[in-house]
Amino acid sequence: MIILVFISLGFLLIAYLASIFIVIELNKRGVEIPKTWFNLKIVYHAHQYYKITKLEDGKAGIWYHIWIISLIGALTSFTIYSFSNSSF
C-alpha cells in the first residue's frame, strides 16, 4: 500500500511541474507573475492560462489538462490509500 503514497507524490510532482510551465507560458504571453509566490495563486494563474489558450486556439492548453489530471490522480490515490488503511 505504500506504493499508493509514491504514486500520489508522483502526481503532485507532475502537478508542480505543470504549474511551472503554466507560469512560463503566461510570461511568454505578457502576463507578469512574481516567481517567488506563484504557487500560492496557481489556481488563478491556471484559470488565466485556460482562458487565454481557449481564446487563441479554441481549446485549453496542454499544461492545463496535465495539471488538472495530475491533481485528480493525486486526490484519488490519497483517497484509496486512506480507505485501504482505515479499520472499520
Query: What Cα–Cα distance (Å) separates residue 38 from each residue in 57, 60, 62, 65, 73?
Result: 25, 20, 19, 19, 22
For residue 72, give its domain range. Answer: 1-87
Q: What is the pTM of this model?
A: 0.85
CA distance 45 to 63: 12
Q: Is residue 69 within 8 Å of residue 3, measured between CB atoms?
A: no
What does each of the 88 residues of the chain score in pLDDT, given as a tens digit?
789 889 999 999 999 999 999 999 999 999 888 777 766 888 999 999 999 999 998 999 999 999 999 999 999 999 998 888 765 5
As for how many domains the chain has, the answer is 1
